[in-house]
Amino acid sequence: MLTPDQLAEIDAARATPRPTLRAVSEGMEAHLYRAHPVLDHGFIRVIDYMGDDAAIVQAARVSYGAGTKHVQNDEGLIRYLMRHWHSTPFEMCEVKLHVKLPVFVARQWIRHRTANVNEYSARYSILDREFYIPAPEQLAAQSTVNNQGRGEVLTGEEAARVLDLLKSDANRAYDHYEAMLSQDGQQGLARELARMNLPANIYTQWYWKVDLHNLFHFLRLRADAHAQYEIRVYAEAIAACVKDWVPLAFAAFEDYRMGGVTLSGKAIAVLKRRLAGEAVTQEASGMSKGEWREFVEVWG
Ligand SMILES: Cc1cc2nc3c(=O)[nH]c(=O)nc-3n(C[C@H](O)[C@H](O)[C@H](O)COP(=O)(O)OP(=O)(O)OC[C@H]3O[C@@H](n4cnc5c(N)ncnc54)[C@H](O)[C@@H]3O)c2cc1C
């Protein structure tokens, strides 16, 4: 995944700590620069960060010092801010990540517009022969109940057939990429053009900088069970770092956003009727079948 030279660079970066007056999160310091593997060739690593839990409290209070000095007060305020969608104090924290990911995952990821991105240039550099090939347990058929999901895991000959297609297509496309770039006795094609036949499972890399509020929004959508597995594992790896970086804010996020649900007016009315002892049906609820199914998933 990382070459010995790249690992040595990371070790060197970690070997020269300097004192600072800036806010430091001990939990995040442990992650700085280190690569956390994701999928077969990917990773995320924290390149830089700004702020900690106290910085959120400090911004909310527009104070001179660091937070309120009482963890309990900080926690209560952070939970209050999260509960009431008072989001700007969370924007005071930022993180910069280096991410290596398949291009088809990058296409989903880049839809999150409230971040700053700089991607590896395949006009300037030659891409590596690295393709995402799903692990056997992720090689699944189309779901029969969810148009946007996968169902039964493939096994035996069918798994082998699909894997063979994935691998041979990737290798053939890369062989042609190399052949087109080749200037061995011929003119060769420019890198910016030769790349266009490469498949969407080839890996790309970028630096991605985002503030904590928008990162929580990203995690809410992409660490969710409904997100595609291949982006979800990246979101989960990032979430593990965020938990160590801002433990109080992350706990509030887990509780209110990941663990909570939004109730519509109709859903509240149904719950009230149920609490009063009435057996409410979908037809009598005023909700559509889809809404009702989702409501029942949470409330039974
Ligand atoms: C399960 C799932 C399935 C999806 N399926 C599809 C699909 O089939 N096709 C598809 O195209 N996309 C799909 N998406 C992508 C989705 O529609 C969003 O584009 C993506 O999740 C980014 O969300 P966002 O716009 O809220 O994030 P960001 O771009 O980070 O924006 C954050 C918030 O900032 C505000 N904002 C940002 N930019 C603007 C703007 N220009 N104008 C107004 N407000 C703005 C909005 O309030 C927004 O919610 C899917 C996403 C998920 C999670």
pLDDT tens digits, residue range 280-293? Answer: 999 999 999 999 99
Nearest 5°: the CA angle 69, 240, 61 is 25
Distance separating alpha carbons of residues 158 and 169, to the nearest angstrom? 17
pLDDT tens digits, residue range 67-101? Answer: 556 666 899 999 999 999 999 999 999 999 999 99
Region label for 129, one of left (φ > 0), alpha (ψ between -120 and 50) or beta (otherwise): beta
Count CA within 13 A, CB hemisphere, residue 245: 27
Instruction: Tell me the helix, strand and coil percentages in the chain, rounded to 5.
Output: 50, 15, 35
Q: Which of 199, 216, 242 is the last residue before a domain boundary?
A: 199
Is the pLDDT assigned to residue 264 strictly greater than 70?
yes
What pLDDT score was predicted for residue 22? 93
CB-neighbour burial class of residue 275 (10 A; exposed 0-12, middle 13-18, buried 19+): exposed
What pLDDT score was predicted for residue 71? 66
Distance 233 CA to ligand 1 centre (A): 19
Q: Are residues 150 and 237 in the same domain?
A: no
* Ligand 1, atom nearest to 228 Cα: 1
Count of domains observed in the chain: 3
What pLDDT score was predicted for residue 70? 66
* Ligand 1, atom nearest to 148 Cα: 3
Q: CATH number, domain at 11?
A: 3.30.1360.170
Q: Which helix (H) or strand (E) holds 56?
A: helix 53-61
Distance 229 CA to ligand 1 centre (A): 18
User: Which residue in 97, 108, 111 sits closest to 207, CA to CA?
Assistant: 97
pLDDT tens digits, residue range 199-230? Answer: 999 999 999 999 999 999 999 999 999 999 99
* Ligand 1, atom nearest to 227 Cα: 1
Distance 33 CA to ligand 1 centre (A): 29
Q: Are residues 94 and 41 in the same domain?
A: yes
Q: Are residues 74 and 119 in the same domain?
A: yes
Q: Which domain holds residue 143?
A: 135-199
What pLDDT score was predicted for residue 130? 97
pLDDT tens digits, residue range 224-238? Answer: 999 999 999 999 999
Distance separating alpha carbons of residues 41 and 45, to the nearest angstrom? 13
Ligand 1: which residue has its CA nearest to atom 26? 112
Q: Give the residue numbers marked as catalytic.
A: 222
Ligand 1: which residue has its CA nearest to atom 32? 114
Q: Are residues 140 and 88 in the same domain?
A: no
Q: Are residues 72 and 210 in the same domain?
A: yes
Ligand 1: which residue has its CA nearest to atom 43? 113
Q: Which of 178, 199, 220 is the last residue before a domain boundary?
A: 199
Q: Are residues 270 and 285 in the same domain?
A: yes
Q: Are residues 20 and 106 in the same domain?
A: yes
pLDDT tens digits, residue range 156-185? Answer: 899 999 999 999 999 999 999 999 998 888
Ligand 1: which residue has its CA nearest to atom 1? 227
Q: Are residues 254 and 269 in the same domain?
A: no
Q: Are residues 116 and 128 in the same domain?
A: yes
Percent of the chain with pLDDT over 90: 84
pTM for this structure? 0.94
Q: Are residues 155 and 9 in the same domain?
A: no
Q: What is the 3-state secondary structure (H, E, C) of 271-287?
A: HHHHHCCCCCCHHHHCC
Q: Are residues 11 and 69 in the same domain?
A: yes
Q: Are residues 150 and 125 in the same domain?
A: no
Give the list of residues 6+ apart from residue 100 with CB closer than 8 angstroms, or none: 1, 38, 41, 42, 43, 44, 203, 204, 205
Alpha helices in 69-188 (DSSP H): 71-83, 103-109, 156-181
- The residues that bridge with 96 in the sheet, in sequence order, are 48, 209
* Residue stretches of the annotated binding site for FAD: 88, 111-113, 119, 211-213, 217
Is the pLDDT assigned to residue 1 strictly greater than 80?
no
What pLDDT score was predicted for residue 69? 62
